[in-house]
Amino acid sequence: MPAWKVLFILVLALVCLGLAFATFIVPMTLTDGTERWLWLAGLLAATLCMSGLFALFLKRASRLLN
């Protein structure tokens, strides 16, 4: 596997992990109000989107190795 694919997988994994942590940390540390729920919704959507892209990339990379 080329080095750029390994680095790309590492970057995608770190982005997904960072978004997952931020989904829990940011809404807890903000004050009360609608701002908290907007942050939660946005970070949750971003986490789901990036996780989906990561899964699709891993499936494609696995299929190309066979």
Confidence of residue 66 (pLDDT cuts 50, 70, 90): confident
Q: What pLDDT, in 10s, does the model give residues 3-49?
A: 888 898 899 999 999 999 999 888 888 767 778 888 889 999 999 99
Going from the C-alpha of 20 to that of each of 31, 39, 63, the distances in angstroms are 20, 13, 27
Domain with 36, as residue range(s), is: 3-65
What is the pLDDT at residue 29? 86
Supply the pLDDT for residue 55. Answer: 94
State the pLDDT at residue 62.
87
**What is the crossing angle of helices 3-29 and 34-65, to 10°?**
160
Q: Where are the alpha helices (DSSP H) in 1-66?
A: 3-29, 34-65
Q: What is the pLDDT of residue 31?
A: 64
Q: What is the number of other CB atoms lying within 10 angstroms of the CB of residue 6?
A: 10
Total of domains in the chain: 1
